[in-house]
Amino acid sequence: MKKIKSKQYIVMAATFVILALVPIFINNNYYITILNQMVINMLVVFGLNFITGLTGQMNLGTAGIYALGAYTSALLSRNFGISPWLTMIAAVFVGFLIGRGLGYPSLKMRGVYLSLTTLAFSEIVRIFATNLVSITGGTQGVKNIPRFAVGFIQLDSNVKYFYFVLIVTIVLCLLSIKITHSKWGREFRAVKDNVDAIESLGLDIKKIKIRAFTIAAMYGALGGALYAHFNQFITSTSFTTDLSISYVIMLMIGGIGNIFGNIIGAIVITLLPELLRFLGDYYQITYCILVLLCAVFLPNGLISLYGKARHLYEKKSAVKGGE
């Protein structure tokens, strides 16, 4: 993973500014909903980045974490009238526990085995969510999840909620950048680069891996909680393996390991279904083929396009200069 250069910071900031300006020009509630989901997705991918991007481990269980965050916050706030601020913190705490729980298997397994375990975990969550009808409402779901207020501002419209989620995401983006450039970030990258050397430097690799999972799970659970309060309705049918896969796709398409890549990945994959809608019946298969092509030809994600373009430009100007 390359260090984020200052140029990237500027572009990232610009992206957030553009996103902030969108609601001014677009009033359509449908698109505002997509915008909300997009930003929540970004947040989840920032978390996933710690597992797959930095420590290089596989996680196909994001949907399970997202679901548990969503149900925690939804049920506590709707059934017990607890303030969503507190229930969202509870959701993050649940994420913390899951992270520590899931982190433990990640110590014993590598690669493929871990992907299967996280997959199994996600499915178990989904099956329980579908069948513990008295608690989760099963496929009928949990309705009337409350919105809340930030200070005096009641987040009663989707636009207002969007600005709230945008701010949360920007904060978490900054947090991720800070962690990545800190000593923790170096340790995470070391796990991906060369696992064998870490312990010879006195570092306990178990702690590092569990830490990565915990951070990712906390982000994922928060994302789920924010989704629950946005949509005000959640059902177990949303939290499928397909959702876990979507998040990995966002990570991959943007550029694994790079936070700006996470942003781009989330934007592209959230928007792609809308952009391809005109294909009608063929939209799904086109989407899948596009993603497959990206995985094969752009393994470093869309972010690498910038590097390649700049490389070509430098080559061209070098040739010109030589003439």
Partner 1 sequence: MWEILIQLIVSGIAMGFIYALVGIEYTLIWNASGVLNFSHDKMITTGAYIFGGTYILGLGMDFIPGIIVSLITVAILGIVIAKVIFIPLRNMTMIYTIMATVMLGKIIVEAIRLIWGPVPFSVPGFLIGTVKIGSTVISIANIAIIITASICVLALQLFLYKTKPGKAMRCVAQSRKAAQLMGIDVTSVMTVSVIISMIICCLIGILVSPLLNITTTMSNMIGLKGFAAGIIGGFGYLPGSILGGLCIGIIENIASMVLPSVYKDIVAFVLLIIFLLIRPKGITGKTR
Partner 2 sequence: MGNEEIVLEVKNLIKKFDGLVAVNDLSFKVKKGRIHALIGPNGAGKTTTVNMITGTDPQNEGDILFCGKSILKLPVYSRAKLGIGRTFQNIKLFSSMTVLENLMIGAQCNTNQHILTYLVNLKKAKAEEELLKEKAEVILDFIGMYRYKDEIVSNLAYGRQKMTELGRTLMMDPKLILLDEPAAGLNPSERKTFIDIIWKVFEQDIDIFLIEHNMDVVMNLSHDITVLNFGCKIAEGGSKEIQNNEEVITAYLGEGYRKKMMEKEAGANA
Q: Give me the residues that bind partner 1 (CB under 8 A), please.
A: 52, 58, 60, 104-105, 108-109, 111-113, 115-117, 119-121, 123-124, 127-128, 130-131, 245, 248-249, 252, 256, 281-282, 284-285, 288-289, 291-292, 295-296, 299
Find the part of the chain contacting partner 2 (CB under 8 A) among 26-34, 102-110, 198-206, 314-322.
198-206
Query: Smallest distance from the beta carbon of 184 to partner 2, in angstroms?
Result: 5
By CB under 8 A, is residue 192 in contact with partner 2? yes
Q: Which does 58 bind (CB under 5 to 8 A by kind): partner 2, partner 1, none?
A: partner 1
By CB under 8 A, is residue 186 in contact with partner 2? yes
Residue type, 182: S
Q: Which does 204 bind (CB under 5 to 8 A by kind): partner 2, partner 1, none?
A: partner 2
Helices (H), 81-110: 84-108
Q: Which does 27 bind (CB under 5 to 8 A by kind): partner 2, partner 1, none?
A: none
Residue 3 vs 277, nearer CB to partner 2: 3
129 exposure class (CB count in 10 Å sphere: 0-12, 13-18, 19+)? buried
Residue 63 vs 303, nearer CB to partner 2: 303
Residue 214 vs 244, nearer CB to partner 2: 214
Near partner 2 in 257-286, by CB under 8 A = none
Determine contact, residues 255/303, Cβ cutoff 8 Å: yes
The set of residues, in sequence order, having a beta carbon less than 8 Å from that of 59 and lying 6+ positions away, is 48, 51, 52, 114, 115, 118, 213, 216, 244, 248
The three-point CA angle 20-92-191 to 5° equals 90
Rounded Cα–Cα distance for residues 178 and 58 (Å): 23
Determine contact, residues 229/145, Cβ cutoff 8 Å: yes
Q: Which does 146 bind (CB under 5 to 8 A by kind): partner 1, partner 2, none?
A: none
Q: Which does 143 bind (CB under 5 to 8 A by kind): partner 1, partner 2, none?
A: none
Residue 180 vs 231, nearer CB to partner 2: 180
R_g (Cα) of the chain, nearest Å: 20
Rounded Cα–Cα distance for residues 213 and 103 (Å): 5
Q: Which does 183 bind (CB under 5 to 8 A by kind): partner 1, partner 2, none?
A: partner 2
Rounded Cα–Cα distance for residues 92 and 221 (Å): 6
Query: Smallest distance from the beta carbon of 2 to partner 2, in angstroms?
Result: 7
By CB under 8 A, is residue 201 in contact with partner 2? yes
Q: Number of residues in contact with partner 2, rule: CB under 8 A? A: 25
Residue 79 vs 131, nearer CB to partner 1: 131
- Give the residue, chosen from 29, 139, 182, 284, that forms a contact with partner 2 under the rule CB under 8 A: 182
The three-point CA angle 40-210-95 to 5° equals 35
By CB under 8 A, is residue 197 in contact with partner 2? yes
Rounded Cα–Cα distance for residues 248 and 252 (Å): 6
Largest CA distance in the chain: 77
Closest among 182, 226, 219 to 47, alpha carbons compared: 219
Query: Smallest distance from the beta carbon of 112 to partner 1, in angstroms?
Result: 5
Q: DSSP characters for 46-77?
A: HHHIIIIIIS------HHHHHHHHHHHHHHHH
Rounded Cα–Cα distance for residues 320 and 323 (Å): 5
Determine contact, residues 55/210, Cβ cutoff 8 Å: no
Find the part of the chain contacting partner 2 (CB under 8 A) among 37-45, 99-107, 171-179, 259-267.
171-179
Sites of contact with partner 2 (CB under 8 A): 1-2, 175, 178-179, 182-184, 186-187, 189-190, 192-194, 196-205
